[in-house]
Chains A and B, each alone.
Chain A
Amino acid sequence: MSGERTQTGRKRPRRRGRFLPYILLSPLVLFIGALALYPTIVTTVQAFFTVDPVNPPTRFAGLANFRALIHNPFVRQSAVNTALYIVVGVGLSTLFGLVIALVLQRRSRWRGVVLALVVLPWALPGVVEAVIWGWIYDATFGVLNSVLKSTGLIGSYHVWIGIGRVVSIVLIELVQVWQVTPLAALLILAALQSIPQEIYEAARVDGAGSWEKFRRITLPLVRPGLAVAMVESLILSLNVFDQVYVLNGFAPGGASIMLQTYQISFNNLNFGQGYALSLLATFATMLLSLLILAVVYRRVEF
């Protein structure tokens, strides 16, 4: 089914255009090479230099930037915070995505409307989300307080962001979950829809209940979709910045790794350390992505 096996009919074009693939790819390679790979190479190299306009000149520093980062208590704390953002972000967006996908899988009158509204948060610019959610969480006039108080769940208005570390991080990350859940839902839905109905039929004949079917068929077979959704969410939550910055400023109780990168680069002007930290973040993203794929991803063939 894959390329190599069905080549017989394509010999002619292939011989005729030996360089054709490269011609077709050249615009892409030029773009990615000049505007993504090249900047990455620069960053990678500069991570090993002292790039600090307050303290010139730029000079080779070996691993000094990395050492300084490891000993910086703010960086350490933000790494712990970021781990929490990732757990909350990946966990909730996968859970919500799965629930929404299961609901959307059933054909019904409402499906079109639900689908349209479910996709909505993903389409909105992050800057706008920050405005919207900042107002929802507002400690004095926010609707979150208003709803919780009028339903009797809280006695008086709470300050949601800035006091408790875990509560702050969960609520900040919830904004990102709101944005990324549609994507997770669609990815999982794609996987759900590729499960042949016959398998469920067979299970039904064997007398399996709904829960049994979900646990024994749906969950294992939806793993590829789950894995991709989790990786997407991981990339976003590991790089969380806007939501934290707008809702919580630089408070150490919520600062993320990207916030530290920004602080070190643009406020302290220690760009070498900033590059080093973003390099570490890239590595962490790669490692954790591979980890998720190794644990969750299973090739599924029907």
Chain B
Amino acid sequence: MRGRSGLRRGGRALLIALILVWSAFPVYWALNTSMTTLNGAQSVPAHFVPSPFTAHNYGTLLNQTGGGVGNQFWRSFLNATIESGLATVLTVAIALFAAYAFARLEFRGKRIILVAVLATLLLPVYATLIPLYRIMSSVHLVNTYLGIILVYTSGFLPLAIWIMYNYFASVPRELEEAAFVDGATPVVALWRVMIPVSGPGIAATSIIVFLMGWAQFIFPLVLSSDLATQPVTVMVAALYGQRIVPFTLLNAIGVLAAALPGVIALVLNRYIVQGVMAGSIK
């Protein structure tokens, strides 16, 4: 009996090790490549620790003087933060009201609106790219933060609403009943009761939406014209597209572009987990 459970424990440990390698190794490999020279990276067989070690690639990227890669990189980093951040605020604000209406109020057309909103998740990117661009162009929002934020918001709302809706649905109704007895309107109940108890749900939605914003590529590629609004993903693709940028430098750029979402995932993952779990249909 003991032998068998020992075997089982060993098997489990092996499985956990495999899962960790599968999840983390590609990221480690990018780090490893980014911290060596081109010759080091091109050694056969591959070195599993940077050899020779160099921080030169990061030096190039962090050097903000002049019009070099570093300068462009930081601006695009800032752009991505602003665009994802503000889109998150807007998305969550709209989603709170809408999710509350879906979760707590009865009204005609509830189901059809919710289904229509969620159905937009099925649309392929290239189906809406050009018409969307035309709309943004006609209201003069191409190459503006606002234009990108509006497009992001429209894209992220369905998921945000779904997560918040399920979260609200899990809040016991008794909490609001007390407020209603005191004569509160639904909006007051939402503000005084639902939002305070939904902190983790709001955090989860915000983090997930922010990460989605950070990962966007094709929409900002088309909607931004220059460094005034280009996020970091577009920058990475521009350097990748040159084809003469060494792979070591490319990996360094990749690591920096992935750093913020990576740290968020590592530190705040319990919110992401909660958000996804709340959003899962039963």
A binds B: yes
Chain B residues touching A, range: 35 or more
Q: Is the CB of B217 within 8 A of A242?
A: yes
- Which of B64-72, B192-200, B247-255 has 4 or more CB atoms under 8 Å from chain A? B247-255
Highest count of chain B CB atoms <10 Å: which of A36, A115, A189, A258: A36
Closest B residue by C-beta to A286: B122
Complex interface: chain B residues within 8 A of A131 (CB)? 30, 236, 240, 250-251, 253-254
CA distance A274 to B129 in the complex (A): 11
Complex interface: chain A residues within 8 A of B270 (CB)? 115
Q: Is the CB of A36 within 8 A of B120?
A: yes
Complex interface: chain B residues within 8 A of A183 (CB)? 276
State which residues 242-264 of B face A: CB under 8 Å: 247, 250-251, 253-254, 257-258, 261-262, 264
A202 within 8 A of B: no
Closest A residue by C-beta to B156: A31
Complex interface: chain B residues within 8 A of A115 (CB)? 269-270, 273
CA distance A132 to B240 in the complex (A): 11
Complex interface: chain A residues within 8 A of B154 (CB)? 31-32, 34-36
Q: Is the CB of B265 within 8 A of A123?
A: yes
B262-282 vs A, CB cutoff 8 Å, 1 = contact: the mask equals 101111011011001100111
A267 within 8 A of B: no
Q: Is the CB of B180 within 8 A of A100?
A: no
B202 within 8 A of A: no
Known contacts A12-B180, A115-B273, A121-B23; decide if A38 and B135 are in contact (CB<8 Å). yes
CA distance A140 to B173 in the complex (A): 62
Q: Is the CB of B276 within 8 A of A186?
A: yes
Q: Select which of B130, B173, B189, B266 is within 8 A of A6 by beta carbon.
A: B173
Give min CB distance, B202 to chain A, whole Å: 16
A196 within 8 A of B: no
Q: Is the CB of A125 within 8 A of B120?
A: no
B125 within 8 A of A: yes
CA distance A127 to B237 in the complex (A): 7
Q: Select which of A43, A128, A285 is within 8 A of B236 by beta carbon.
A: A128
Q: Is the CB of B45 within 8 A of A146?
A: yes
CA distance A61 to B182 in the complex (A): 63
Q: Is the CB of A135 within 8 A of B161?
A: no
A96-116 vs B, CB cutoff 8 Å, 1 = contact: the mask equals 100110010010001001111
A233 within 8 A of B: no
CA distance A48 to B27 in the complex (A): 45
Q: Is the CB of A10 within 8 A of B180?
A: yes
Known contacts A4-B106, A186-B273; decide if A24 and B97 are in contact (CB<8 Å). yes
Q: Is the CB of B27 within 8 A of A114?
A: no
Q: Is the CB of B269 within 8 A of A116?
A: yes
Give min CB distance, A296 to chain B, whole Å: 12
Q: Is the CB of A13 within 8 A of B180?
A: yes
B1-40 vs A, CB cutoff 8 Å, 1 = contact: the mask equals 0000000000010011001101110110110010000000
Taking Cβ atoms with an 8 Å cutoff, the residues of B that contact A are 12, 15-16, 19-20, 22-24, 26-27, 29-30, 33, 41-46, 94-95, 97-98, 100-101, 104-107, 110, 113, 116-117, 120-128, 130-132, 135, 150-151, 153-155, 157-158, 161, 173, 177, 180-181, 184-187, 189, 211, 214-217, 232-233, 236-237, 240, 247, 250-251, 253-254, 257-258, 261-262, 264-267, 269-270, 272-273, 276-277, 280-282
Taking Cβ atoms with an 8 Å cutoff, the residues of A that contact B are 3-4, 6-7, 9-10, 12-14, 16-17, 20-22, 24-25, 27-29, 31-32, 34-40, 42-43, 96, 99-100, 103, 106, 110, 113-133, 135-136, 138, 140-143, 146-147, 149-150, 157, 178, 182-183, 186-187, 189-191, 193-194, 224-225, 227-228, 235, 239, 241-242, 246, 258, 261-262, 265, 271, 274-275, 278-279, 281-282, 285-286, 289, 300
